[in-house]
Chain A
Amino acid sequence: MNLFADALRWLLDPAQWTGTYALSTLLGQHLLYTAVSVLIAAVVAVPAGWLIGHTGRGREIAVAISGAARAIPSFGLLILLVLLFGVLQVPAAALVTFVLLAIPSLLAGAYTGIEAIEPRVIDAARAMGMTPWQVFWKVEFRLGLPLLIGGLRAATLQVIATVTIAAWVNLGGLGFPIIQGIQLNRFDQVLAGALLVAVLALIADLLFALAQRAAVPAGVRAAGGRARDEPRTRGALRAART
């Protein structure tokens, strides 16, 4: 436990909170990279996923993409893009890596959300005279939202983990104290960085879990209809690990 005391002392040292590599700056970089790349990925993947879920076409492609993506080592993809972009373009290469890694989870979240809806519910909406747009916006979007947020959750956690590793190519972020500490044999610093990253991931996970719960429409919650869909769909949202 002595190690943890050292890590805490390192964390609380005012020297860690000033200068170029101040922990607050590193945290800011970590959050910014994560937010920007998940947002870009969402703009691409969510409409595509909705279209697949709504029309039922292209489902095989989405399944194949998310299945194959699991086999790609994120660290290798990062290094490959860094070398392809040129070492001076590290931030751009890293951003592209993060976006690519976030897409499969978001795609899966968007289409499984719509796919998991009982077909009779959609039929009922049509029978009530809803236009396709109304069916999407008033029924499919609302009922699919919890799973979409699940996809967002998986994508965010994956990107948080990959940003950590990206400290290896001098991207900054909370991986910096870990990577630098390993090279300097400073294990108080390594452990402090690891604790910060773990806490960041756990907080993000918790916030998304709450959002996911809040996104379940009141009527569905009252009917208890969500539980049945869960085992079938939650596997799709299991994030990859980085």
Chain B
Amino acid sequence: MTWIIDNLGLILTLTATHLQQSLIALVLGVVVSVPLGWIAWRYRLVRGPLIVLTGLLYTIPSLALLMLMPALFGYQATQPSNLVAALTIYNIAILVRSVADGLDSVDADVRRAATAMGYGSTRRFWTVDLPLAGPVILAGVRVAAVSTIALATVGTLIGVTNLGYLFTNGLDRRLIEEVFAGVVATVLLALIVDGILVLLGRLLMPWQRATKTASRVRRPAVVAGSAA
């Protein structure tokens, strides 16, 4: 415990950096995935190739992706933005599918009713389709957030500082306590962000409680993932 108490400041600073890197990757992932997911949902022909392509990117191990992308696009591998870019790619792979699945889950009758009431396609997308796809998208965002936070620690291998620093530094100094603190801080951060996302979902989608049976059909499967 002494190491943790003596280095609380360091742990908190690293946690803040870690959170910042993860959140940027998450927000970028959502921003790119909503239009891509919509395209996948709207144009059946594009859907297969798009899902396959993002799936293949998801298959590439992180350390390899962290080295391949700088080589392809000609930037420095050792900067934080490289880590954020790789995490964003993984998030897109998870979220494009969630957005397409979410839009699938919207009742066609509801969509027709909106059209009948005179909603144009843009207004219908933002006020009907996207909110109703919300629960499924949120499930994907939760998976993306938690795995991003766990995965970001790999950044320390390429010299990007975050909670992963406690792992490499702890190994060098043979300090089990330091490594343990890093693991616990990462897991706690992931759980807290996950909890905030759940609360945010309740605030933004109050109708979910009323129609719980509808959303329950899909939720368990997405939550039940594997990971590390």
Contacts and interface: CB of A to CB of B under 8 A. Distances in A.
Contact of B182 (A3, A76, A157): A76
B56 interface: yes
Contacts of B223: 63, 67, 235
Contacts of B228: 69-70, 72-74, 77, 100-101, 104, 158, 162, 240, 242
Nearest to A175: B63
Given A72-B183, A73-B164, A80-B180, A194 B226 contact: no
A228 interface: no
Nearest to B191: A71
A4 interface: yes
A157 B150 contact: no
B21 interface: no
A67 B223 CA distance: 6
B64 A178 contact: yes
A73 B154 CA distance: 8
Interface residues of B, number: 62
Nearest to A109: B226
B124 interface: no
A108 B224 contact: yes
Contacts of A165: 61-63, 154, 157
Contacts of A168: 157, 168, 171
Interface residues of A, number: 70
Interface string B197-216: 00000000000000000000
Interface of A: 3-4, 7, 62-63, 66-77, 79-80, 82-84, 87, 100-101, 104-108, 112, 151, 154-155, 157-158, 160-162, 164-165, 168-169, 175, 178-179, 182, 187, 190-191, 193-195, 197-198, 201-202, 205, 231-242
Given A71-B187, A76-B179, A108-B226, 5 more contacts: A70-B228, A71-B146, A76-B183, A194-B65, A205-B56
Which 10 pairs, one residue from A and one from B, show the smallest C-beta to C-beta distance?
A70-B227, A240-B227, A105-B226, A161-B61, A235-B222, A71-B190, A194-B67, A104-B226, A194-B64, A76-B183
Interface of B: 56, 58-68, 71, 77, 90, 94, 101, 104, 139-140, 143, 146-147, 149-151, 153-154, 156-159, 163-164, 166-168, 170-171, 174-176, 179-180, 182-183, 186-187, 190-191, 194, 217-218, 220-228
